[in-house]
């Protein structure tokens, strides 16, 4: 495990010193900010417990790491609700979150929030898939309400670059964050329904999306025929489907982004001088991508977290507000 991971026990002496300088103050209460060592006293093994459950789940489900990071993304953006339109029939991984929660409740009852479980699980999922590690900031509380309609503000696969930039900047996330976080699509699966318009009727033109590479289009048309099952699954990154690497960007460079929202980052006229150069940079340097991805995950994990105990709680069951 790399020194930058959030298991402070395996950090070097220098790393420990640095952590003390950067995150020395770990306040609890209304004015709290997130910090790395939030559970060091109350649940010191939290990170290792989550990791064990994830490794076990991965034995029978290679897709689970991708599914878990997506849950964290939706939770950060909108405290999203399992059955709302972008999630219903699409978000997965809830039984594994339940298993993590059960293991943590055994070790330290009532301590670790479900929002923090998702943040920790996202980091472990990326790291175990070959991606970067980072120190996860912790101390979120779970919402006491569940926002069904907020999920409608999530970015959509048909959004153009301008709308994607608006939805991110609305949350103080800039173009680097947008491009880096979209790199989450370097692993995981996607249903045919999210590409059929690009294959057969782009923007209502009855023509394919002209930015889609023609041999990739032929490949996807076989997998997703016009009247096929809209829920059939495809790899988001067919070159290395389960590895966290920079192939998301090298695919986009050759017009093989899966979603319209992926290819927009490079091919939109508005991408010139904004997101396209960032795609180029990450395609050319996996190290640059990894460094930005880690920072952007921290930025995304810091969106309006609930830390005031009067506004939130540690859920006992991640699927329900306590007492409901
Ligand atoms: C930029 C805007 C984004 C859009 C429009 C978008 C859209 C989508 C869509 C439509 C799917 C397929 C869902 C399905 O077939 O059921 C998907 C899957 C996925 N997304 Fe995103 N996404 C975005 C950003 C992100 C971010 C920021 C992350 C994480 C950092 C992420 C990680 C994933 C992963 C890992 C999957 C595969 C999940 C699995 O296999 O279960 N996405 N996304
Ligand atoms: C979610 O999807 C299921 C199965 O397609 C459907 O029965 C249910 O009504 C949907 N829920 C909502 C809130 O749309
Ligand atoms: C969500 O929006 C719908 C339609 O705009 C509205 O009828 C419903 O009351 C809203 N639900 C919540 C929980 O706000
Ligand atoms: C992007 O989409 C929005 C909403 O559909 C639309 O109003 C806008 O004109 C589009 N922008 C471009 C540059 O196509
Ligand atoms: C920006 O966020 C607000 C709520 O915080 C929401 O009402 C609005 O629709 C969002 N705008 C976009 C473009 O997503
Ligand atoms: C193509 O899309 C347009 C606009 O969404 C729709 O009116 C039309 O029926 C679609 N054509 C086919 C063949 O599905």
What CATH number did the domain enclosing 111 receive? 1.10.520.10
Q: In the annotation, is 72 catalytic?
A: no
Domain co-membership, 165 together with 271: yes
- Half-sphere exposure (Cβ direction) of 41: Cα atoms closer than 13 Å: 6
Domain co-membership, 143 together with 235: no
- Please, which pLDDT band fits residue 6 given cuts at 50, 70 and 90? very low
pLDDT of residue 162: 98
- Please, which pLDDT band fits residue 311 given cuts at 50, 70 and 90? confident
Which pLDDT tens digit goes with each residue over 186-212?
999 999 999 999 999 999 999 999 999
pLDDT of residue 260: 98
Residue whose structure tokens are 């900047």: 169
Domain co-membership, 112 together with 122: yes
Which pLDDT tens digit goes with each residue over 221-242?
999 999 999 999 999 999 999 9
Range of the domain at 135: 8-153+301-313
Which pLDDT tens digit goes with each residue over 120-148?
999 999 999 999 999 999 999 998 876 66
Domain co-membership, 261 together with 215: yes
Ligand 3 pocket residues where CB is under 6 Å: 148-149
What's the whole-number average pLDDT of the chain?
Answer: 89
Ligand nearest to the CA of 147: 3
Q: What separation in Å is there between the alpha carbon of 204 and the centre of ligand 6?
A: 5
Domain co-membership, 96 together with 202: no
Asked if the structure places residue 35 within a domain, the reply is yes
Going from the C-alpha of 263 to that of each of 2, 39, 60, 204, 229, the distances in angstroms are 32, 40, 32, 18, 24
Nearest ligand 1 atom to alpha carbon 233: 15
CATH number of the domain that residue 267 is part of? 1.10.420.10
Ligand nearest to the CA of 230: 1
Nearest ligand 1 atom to alpha carbon 261: 5
Domain co-membership, 166 together with 136: no
Which residue puts its alpha carbon closest to atom 13 of ligand 1? Answer: 190
Q: What separation in Å is there between the alpha carbon of 183 and the centre of ligand 6?
A: 30
Asked if the structure places residue 19 within a domain, the reply is yes
Which pLDDT tens digit goes with each residue over 52-104?
999 999 999 999 999 999 999 998 887 656 666 667 677 899 999 999 999 99
Q: Which residue from 75, 82, 185, 262 has its CB within 8 A of the most atoms of ligand 1, so it is best to mutate?
A: 185
pLDDT at 12 over 50: no
How many domains does one find in the chain?
2
Mean pLDDT, to the nearest integer, of 173-186?
Answer: 98
Domain co-membership, 149 together with 14: yes
Asked if the structure places residue 1 within a domain, the reply is no
Residue whose structure tokens are 């002209």: 210
Which residue puts its alpha carbon closest to atom 12 of ligand 5? Answer: 167
H helix runs in the chain, sequence order:
13-22, 46-60, 64-78, 94-107, 114-128, 161-169, 175-182, 196-200, 214-223, 247-253, 260-267, 276-284, 286-301
Which pLDDT tens digit goes with each residue over 246-282?
999 999 999 999 999 999 999 999 999 999 999 999 9
Ligand nearest to the CA of 83: 2
Nearest to 198 by CA among 214, 209, 211: 209
Asked if the structure places residue 43 within a domain, the reply is yes
Nearest ligand 2 atom to alpha carbon 88: 1
Domain co-membership, 247 together with 290: yes
pLDDT of residue 187: 98
- Please, which pLDDT band fits residue 10 given cuts at 50, 70 and 90? very low
């Amino acid at each position: 495990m790399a020194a930058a991971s959030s298991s402070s026990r395996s950090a070097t002496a220098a790393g420990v010193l640095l952590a003390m300088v950067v995150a020395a103050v770990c306040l609890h209460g209304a004015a709290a900010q997130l910090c790395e060592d939030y559970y060091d006293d109350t649940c010191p093994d939290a990170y290792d417990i989550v990791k064990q459950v994830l490794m076990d789940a991965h034995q029978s489900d290679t897709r689970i790491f991708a599914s878990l990071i997506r849950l964290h993304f939706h939770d950060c953006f909108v405290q999203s609700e399992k059955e709302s339109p972008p999630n219903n029939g699409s978000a997965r991984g809830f039984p594994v979150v339940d298993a993590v929660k059960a293991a943590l409740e055994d070790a330290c009852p009532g301590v670790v929030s479900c929002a923090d479980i998702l943040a920790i699980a996202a980091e472990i999922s990326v790291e175990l898939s070959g991606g970067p590690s980072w120190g996860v900031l912790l101390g979120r509380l779970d919402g006491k309400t569940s926002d069904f309609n907020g999920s409608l503000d999530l970015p959509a696969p048909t959004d153009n670059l301008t709308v994607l930039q608006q939805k991110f900047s609305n949350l103080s996330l800039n173009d680097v964050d947008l491009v880096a976080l979209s790199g989450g699509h370097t692993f995981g699966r996607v249903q045919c329904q999210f590409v059929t318009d690009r294959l057969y009727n782009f923007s209502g033109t009855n023509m394919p999306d002209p930015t889609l590479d023609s041999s990739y289009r032929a490949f996807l048309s076989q997998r997703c025929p016009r009247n096929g099952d809209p829920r059939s699954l495809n790899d988001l990154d067919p070159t290395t489907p389960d590895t966290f690497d920079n192939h998301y960007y090298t695919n986009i460079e050759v017009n093989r982004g899966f979603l319209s929202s992926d290819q927009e980052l490079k091919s939109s006229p508005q991408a010139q001088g904004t997101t396209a150069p960032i795609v180029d940079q990450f395609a050319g340097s996996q190290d640059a991508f990894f460094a930005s991805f880690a920072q952007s995950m921290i930025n995304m994990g810091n969106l309006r977290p609930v830390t005031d105990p009067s506004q939130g709680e540690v859920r006992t069951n991640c699927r329900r507000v306590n007492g409901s």
